[in-house]
Structure 1
């Protein structure tokens, strides 16, 4: 080897060593620390979409994108200490923005779930919407949200904001919505909702994450054991339209008042989807933050506790998930491959006076809190 080549070799070796040393130092410095990273992952309709990665001191990670104010990934440990994703997601922004995305991790509004016949009346004026479900044809899940990092001691948080203008999707009023996603060092993902308006408008917000607590080791969630702290559920008529009646869960397939596997009675559910898509009326109707549901996955030992100030929770078992649509790492989605626990007010409340109020008026501030707490049973 001549002197010139030898010198080049030494420089190359030194550079490689420094890069490895720098990467090692970054990993060492990030261990045991909470931090947030940010990157631009593409554009939708000419607007940049940001992705935030939040990591706490235990190593749990949550990823969010500003398209749809969506939770795209949650990585938690199982009983063996192995870190895996526990929510469905996609590999690309184009999949999230695609027509086949079934609200994976999205924020849903202005009114989540259904408004019958796409119509409602407030103070004697009738309004007609672009769709009867999930906030219209282009709801909050298809909008670009503003975002910023929030400084908090020992916690990492992202605030996302969206101004839904008067008349958007047929709804009245300029509605300003702020959602703060906080990852704590006790492995809580806290979602705080806040909204104000200049005209009376219906408002029902939720998050539509699909959970599989096995971390992908089980393609179905039928063995996951679920408890819902509710004694009643909302009766449905054709399809999933709510009739307005609230039914006792006893002696029905909807009885999760004590823990049972999701798949135990799923074949008995005579819904149009041949699976669970039901709203539970929670025992708590006080607006206080309480435990609403608990899910335990025996294979991984992971446990999810859901706390909320909302009066209801929608339990959905991914009945329309299809293998035709590939998820994260190219893995096909599977019917009943994940479940949702969507904390919210009742469907069609705006047209059902007996249901809890969903009208936000000027001068009032809407607030709501939901916590997804991740635990492990050894």
Structure 2
């Protein structure tokens, strides 16, 4: 029986140096149909993702920069395309208790900890290794996070694999082990704009979520602990709705966040967790995940001050993030799915972003 043949190709090239003098590499994964993903070992960032529209024209569907320097500063990086850890989303008061031990984290988002601290995984250099196989071109980013980094306990060993699958999908596989009890919530923070090369805002994009409930937040954007039904609220995306249709309604939760910036409780069951469709370009993004939640963020804090690839200025609500994850503040919320990882356990998770056009 003939052996399956490798599909696609990988190009590696130097992409500048960090402020600490570390050499940065850009990996470009390509398929024969023209779909292409570029990723860098600084922050495990998805820099560029080319997919076709309904007429076959390729366009970049993620926000970001064409040079490495803006990614080295959180003020400009804005988590565009980044790997987030150790803990994605917010932890109330920058503190949690695990096995009777209190831990303090940097409070880098008002009174709370956000996305791993002041120098989270998005600001670290990963070890990258690329290859091409029958499942498509891939790059593995590996890193050992030392005990106490950003206040988190345990030596954490992490591997994140990006695979560009031949059918037209970007698969992200997360794996981690620890030598001491810790908490973990890994995600990717890509900003999606299916217009191609960010031609317009995403208010006309139509979003469907497999979520009957969401987790409301207080004024500091920490979940209250409630799982509230989406029925009869602006958070009801059980059928396709334009993101802009209800984003400015007078709902208290939307006022706190300035738009959508909420965790949705996913139904599970193996079906799509989310569908995002741009009626103008015809592009469609389908998300499958084994995670229990998805943070939907409608680019509320983009204000036109950041100039990205091709000189495009990223205005208000110029993208939407679909962050597959465990729930925010789970270490302090006993009724939420646990994010505790213990020695002898192996954290594994998979999210797949599939591309099509109609």
Does the Cα contact within 8 Å between 1:273 and 1:320 map onto a contact in 2?
no
Q: Displacement, 1:267?
A: 0.9
Which residue does the alignment assign to 1:353? 334
| 1:363 counterpart (322, 328, 344) | 344
Q: What does residue range 111-190 of structure 1 map to in structure 2 within 5 Å?
A: 111-131=87-107, 132-190=113-171
Which residue does the alignment assign to 2:14? 40
Q: What does residue range 300-315 of structure 1 map to in structure 2 within 5 Å?
A: 300-315=281-296
Write the deviation string for residues 197-238 of structure 1: whole angstroms up to 9, x where unpaired. Answer: 000000000000001001146421011010000000001111
3-state DSSP of counterpart to 1:120:
strand
Which residue does the alignment assign to 2:243? 262
Inter-partner Cα distance in structure 1 for 2:344 and 2:271: 27
**RMSD of the TM alignment (CA)?**
1.3
Distance 1:140 1:154, change over 3 A: closer
Write the deviation string for residues 313-370 of structure 1: whole angstroms up to 9, x where unpaired. Answer: 0000111112111011111111100000000000000110110010000000000000
Structure 2, unaligned stretches of length 5 or more? 1-5, 108-112
**Between Structure 1 and Structure 2, which shows a larger proportion of helix residues?**
1
Q: Displacement, 1:273?
A: 3.5
Inter-partner Cα distance in structure 2 for 1:122 and 1:33: 45
Does the Cα contact within 8 Å between 2:198 and 2:318 map onto a contact in 1?
no
Q: Displacement, 1:289?
A: 4.7
Structure 1, unaligned stretches of length 5 or more? 1-31
3-state DSSP of counterpart to 2:63:
coil
Does the Cα contact within 8 Å between 2:66 and 2:309 map onto a contact in 1?
yes
3-state DSSP of counterpart to 2:272:
strand
Does the Cα contact within 8 Å between 1:220 and 1:334 map onto a contact in 2?
yes
Write the deviation string for residues 14-48 of structure 1: whole angstroms up to 9, x where unpaired. Answer: xxxxxxxxxxxxxxxxxx96100000111111111
| 2:320 counterpart (339, 347, 356) | 339
Inter-partner Cα distance in structure 2 for 1:174 and 1:206: 19
Does the Cα contact within 8 Å between 1:178 and 1:194 map onto a contact in 2?
yes
Q: What does residue range 243-322 of structure 1 map to in structure 2 within 5 Å?
A: 243-268=224-249, 269=251, 270-284=254-268, 289-322=270-303
Q: Displacement, 1:311?
A: 0.2
Which residue does the alignment assign to 1:11? none
Which structure has the larger Rg over C-alpha atoms? 1
* Residue range with higher mean Cα deviation, 127-136 or 299-308: 127-136
Inter-partner Cα distance in structure 1 for 2:244 and 2:306: 23
Inter-partner Cα distance in structure 1 for 2:310 and 2:242: 28
Inter-partner Cα distance in structure 1 for 2:294 and 2:74: 26
Does the Cα contact within 8 Å between 1:194 and 1:366 map onto a contact in 2?
yes
* Residue range with higher mean Cα deviation, 211-220 or 117-126: 211-220
Which residue does the alignment assign to 2:45? 70
Does the Cα contact within 8 Å between 1:159 and 1:179 map onto a contact in 2?
yes
Which residue does the alignment assign to 1:230? 211
Which residue does the alignment assign to 2:3? none
Q: Displacement, 1:239?
A: 3.0
Q: TM-score, normalised by structure 1?
A: 0.89
Which residue does the alignment assign to 1:85? 60
The alignment covers a number of residue pairs equal to: 343
| 2:74 counterpart (76, 88, 99) | 99
Q: Displacement, 1:154?
A: 4.7
3-state DSSP of counterpart to 1:41:
strand
Which residue does the alignment assign to 2:305? 324
Q: Displacement, 1:291?
A: 1.3
